[in-house]
Amino acid sequence: MQTTLRFSTAGSVDDGKSTLIGRLLFDTNGAYDDQIEAVRNSKVNRSGRELDLSLLTDGLRAEREQGITIDVAYRFFATAKRRFRIADTPGHEQYTRNMATGASTSDAAIILVDAIKGVSRQTLRHATISSLLGIEHLIFAVNKMDAMDWREDVYAGICAELRRHCSRWPGARLHYLPVSALDGDNVARRGGRAAWYNGPSLLDLIETLEISPAPAPFRFPVQYVIRPGDGFRGFAGRVASGTVAPGDTVAVLPSGRRATVRGVHTFDGPQPAAHEGQSVTLILDEEVDISRGDLISLDRARPELSRHLEADLVWMAEEPLDLNFPYLLRAATRELSAMVSSIHWSLDPATGEQLPAHTAQLNDILRISLETTQPLAFDPYSRCRETGSFILIHPRTNRTIAAGMIVRGRPQQDQKDARLAFDLGPVTPGERAERYGHLPAVVSSPNPDLLERQLFEHGALVVRWPSAPPPGLESTGAIIIAPGGLLVPEHGALEFLENAGILIRRENFKSGEGI
């Protein structure tokens, strides 16, 4: 049975990523005839050859016009030995967030290095992000060797520089090979112009890579509660890791309630077991209170449960990180408010040095402490990608602003200073936003009675005030209707408040129901 290798490309701008993938597709007959004909007839050709193979993956009009990759392009092809899924990711620093997206589901990363320019800062940044994302194989393809007359000393120098940085990519297996994507040497077949190189071609290498994912226990994020009637209650979702079968005792987190699996169902009917990657419905023997966002695990192998986390973070937003702002955290199917309580360090991708930092800018790589308003069930990312990863979302814009990989739960002794402590401490702004579904604000309206009624029926905490509200009233988390506030139109008031970032669009994140 053929296995599937998921790999991504990375590297700096103009290192030849799209040309390499186009060459791989062309030489393995992985491109359709009409695609090749479209490339042949294209008005854009920067290669100087009959075919500009980079156009096989640079599909956006802006990409072809600018000669760069912007979006992540996914391609599939197969050989007699293996199936492949390629994520061709952008090299421009501005689109590092897209590179992280494409690499997040990959088993290997092909990181191109321009033999003319050598190792760049972006090369090291992409290798570091790939390592943080748990990619097992980092393949450094030194491209454009034809422009350097296939000089062994050039290749050896680049490899030596990369090896000097390898300590920052722990756990990754490193591979090196010289290629010419333009001519096809050492891509799908061995070239004859580097007699000094005795290793495999790129295709030979990826056909034989061994992927050994760490075995992870059963994890099942609940996506939906199915209640069609007749007493049936099932919990639908996708098995993130492990296996479960009828008769297994499971725990539901964060509540900690236990039950026994009575059945595993799919569209094809009852199944003897559910395995990683399958979408199934679980039926339990007890009426346990379960809703979307809960996590089901084997009782004997539970994940950790904490509101205090330490994580690696890739900042993807142009606005800086605000340590005093309650963001929305989504981990698997669970969504809750969270605040970055401290930054341990920021990583310099060029030197690997851990630098002190008090905020984050676009593309920064950080180690942070994070506090959530409710307990989160998780595994360290190194143990299970699905339950060890999360994204941060800005509640006013619904934009993804960061991707995180959980390193560990915070030690208990470090939690005494927690800013979001709700076991014994005061109610926080993040908790109020989580409860009410909105941020505090002062608004006004030509029809305040109608606006108050609309907000009240929406479930908001709304207060009428006859004059300028006193200091501290906004700290209650309420939407205050008072003179001089943000003018809200009489018609479409709720939509206006959503667009203004005051009301949080919860329907984008939550669906399903509990019992």
Tell me the pLDDT of the chain (515 aa) as tens digits.
Answer: 678 899 998 888 778 888 888 888 888 988 878 878 877 777 666 666 767 777 776 554 344 444 444 467 788 889 999 999 988 887 777 777 788 888 888 999 999 999 999 999 889 988 998 998 889 999 999 999 999 999 999 999 999 999 999 988 988 999 999 999 988 999 999 888 888 999 999 999 999 999 876 678 999 999 999 988 777 899 999 999 999 999 999 999 988 889 999 999 999 999 999 999 999 999 999 888 899 999 999 999 999 999 999 999 999 998 999 987 899 999 999 999 999 999 999 988 777 889 999 999 988 999 999 999 888 999 999 899 999 999 999 998 999 999 999 999 975 444 444 443 333 346 777 767 777 888 899 999 999 999 998 898 888 899 999 998 988 888 888 999 999 999 999 888 988 898 888 887 544 333 333 32
Q: 341 near 369, Cβ under 8 Å?
A: yes
Q: 498 near 393, Cβ under 8 Å?
A: no
Q: Do 469 and 322 belong to one domain?
A: no
Q: Do 92 and 197 belong to one domain?
A: yes
Phi then psi for 39, rounded to 5 degrees? Answer: -65, -40
pLDDT of residue 139: 97
Residue 230 covered by a domain: yes
pLDDT of residue 447: 92
Q: Do 252 and 391 belong to one domain?
A: no
Name beta bridge partners: 52: none
Q: Do 144 and 195 belong to one domain?
A: yes
Q: Do 444 and 399 belong to one domain?
A: no
Q: Do 371 and 481 belong to one domain?
A: no
Among 298, 329, 345, the domain boundary falls at 298
Q: Do 35 and 159 belong to one domain?
A: yes
pLDDT of residue 48: 63
Q: Do 101 and 193 belong to one domain?
A: yes
Q: Count how many domains the chain has.
A: 4
Q: Do 38 and 146 belong to one domain?
A: yes
Residue 31 covered by a domain: yes
pLDDT of residue 507: 44
Residue 241 covered by a domain: yes
Q: Do 479 and 412 belong to one domain?
A: no
For 415-443, letters b (16+ CB in 10 Å) and e give beebbbebeeeeebbbbbbbebbbbbbbb
Q: Do 316 and 399 belong to one domain?
A: yes
For residue 141, what is the DSSP state? E
Beta-strand pair 83-88/4-11: parallel
pLDDT of residue 489: 92
Residue 515 covered by a domain: no
Residue 265 covered by a domain: yes
What CATH number does the domain containing 288 carry? 2.40.30.10
Residue 116 covered by a domain: yes
Name beta bridge partners: 487: 444
Range of the domain at 288: 219-298
Beta-strand pair 354-355/334-347: antiparallel
Among 369, 396, 428, the domain boundary falls at 428
Among 405, 428, 451, the domain boundary falls at 428
**How many CA within 13 A on the CB side of residue 360?**
27
- Cα distances from 478 to residues 432, 436, 449, 455, in angstroms, run 9, 8, 16, 11
Residue 213 covered by a domain: no
Gap between the Cα atoms of 377 and 258, Å rounded: 15
Q: 185 near 200, Cβ under 8 Å?
A: no
Residue 513 covered by a domain: no
Gap between the Cα atoms of 87 and 71, Å rounded: 10
Q: Do 234 and 343 belong to one domain?
A: no
